[in-house]
Amino acid sequence: MENGTIQQPVVMAVPTPGPKRPWFRYSLRTLLIFVLLIGSGMGLWWKWEPWKLTHQVETGGTQCAAFSPDGELVVLSLRNAVVAELATGRIITHLSYDPGDYLDNPRWSSDGRWLSFKTALERCPLGDTQSWTEYPVASWDATSGSYRPTERGAELGYGTIVPLPGNSGDKWVVARTTARDGRTLQEVPGPAVNLYSKQNYSTKTETDLLADLRAPIQGEFGVYFGGTISEDGNWIIVCSDRHQFAFVWHRRRPEYWWGLAWLPEFWLTAVFAVAFVWSVRRDRCDDRRGAGPSSA
């Protein structure tokens, strides 16, 4: 008390704490980039494997397959020989023949006009791929370089043999287990085929194994006889005389670790990942300056 006046104690006002700010605030831009990143990442995961089983071709049992010279068709032969589109598996035609016989070792002429097979009697029926008509069973005359009808062919009544076009000659495209770049198939029990980077089986190691392709079927069917790879190495057909389907695989990217660079999804994921990090840092900088991102 001073001069009859009572001094009141000074009370300091305590600031009221504002609402707690979240440790991370994001903008609509960041949210959009994050969604795109998730989508591209899922696409990359979906296409991660270099080989994809695309479709099946129903044949009723196939032992050998051969790609056409243009790579658009494939012939699968044994008890029920068929010609199918490679990309879709749609059967173009069935090749009829003596039901007591079978067709093996299919070969395309170099111009894609003719199909030739061996039979159980080692004679060769011909097929015209333009009209899909068949010609009589014939044997190869190495002296004259021409096909000659046999009595068996006359009995089957396939028609009349015609001369081969001059551009066909004696050049034929056969089933192959080695691609143009040297990658090689090896048939293994399972049923499955292994794809190696070398041709010489004796020097193969585990590091040379590029792919192990196994047919999605139940039971043990032994070794598959029809492991065939296209010349460009982008298609593999696995078939067997013990199963009614032939399985077709397509190569989406090189099998090596750097093969991911062939996928557009890889580059999209990388771009969106960088953009997401940049957007998050931008939002934090805006928040510190007090502008604040457009909260979502």
Interval 209-225: pLDDT, tens: 898 888 877 655 555 56
Question: What pLDDT, on a 0 to 100 scale, did the predictor assign at position 145?
Answer: 46
Region of poorest pLDDT, from 141-155, 204-218, 268-282: 141-155
Instruction: Check residue 96 and give its pLDDT.
Output: 66
The chain-wide mean pLDDT, for the chain, equals 75
> Does the pLDDT of residue 204 top 90, yes or no?
no
Domain ranges of the chain: 28-47+263-288, 53-181+221-256
The pLDDT value given to residue 267: 94
Q: If you average pLDDT over residues 221-233, what whole number do you get?
A: 74
Above pLDDT 90, what percent of the chain? Answer: 18
Return the pLDDT at 43. Answer: 92
| pLDDT at 224 (0 to 100) | 56
The region that residue 73 occupies, defined by phi over 0 for left and psi between -120 and 50 for alpha, beta otherwise, is: beta
pLDDT at 234: 93
Question: In the 8-state DSSP scheme, what is residue 255?
Answer: S
Res 257 pLDDT > 70: yes
Q: Read off the pLDDT of each residue in 223-229 and give the average, rounded to a whole number.
A: 72
Q: Does residue 256 surpass a pLDDT of 80?
A: yes
Output the CA torsion 124→129→133→138 (10° steps).
-10
Classify residue 157 as left (phi > 0), alpha (psi -120 to 50) or beta. left
Asked whether the beta carbons of 156 and 137 are under 8 A apart, the reply is: yes
What pLDDT digit, counting tens, does each position of 77-127 carry?
A: 776 778 889 888 888 887 766 655 677 778 888 878 778 777 765 556 677
Q: What local confidence, expressed as pLDDT, does residue 244 receive?
A: 77
Comparing CA positions, the residue from 133, 74, 131, 146 lying closest to residue 107 is 74
Residue with the larger pLDDT of the pair 217 and 249: 249
Q: Which of 155, 203, 198 is nearest to 179 (CA)?
A: 198
How much is the pLDDT for 296?
A: 47
DSSP 223: B
Instruction: Give the pLDDT of residue 168.
Output: 47
pLDDT of residue 161: 40
Under the banding of pLDDT at 50, 70 and 90, the label for residue 265 is very high
Alpha-carbon distance of 161 to 155, in angstroms, equals 14
The tens digit of pLDDT for each residue in 26-85 reads: 788 899 999 999 999 999 999 899 999 998 888 776 778 889 888 888 888 776 778 889
Per-residue pLDDT, 193: 86
Identify the helix (H) or strand (E) that includes residue 266: helix 264-288
pLDDT value of position 268: 94
Q: What is the pTM of this model?
A: 0.72
pLDDT of 155 above 80:
no
User: What pLDDT is stored for residue 162 in this prediction?
Assistant: 43
Q: Is 19 helix (H, G, I), strand (E, B) or coil?
A: coil
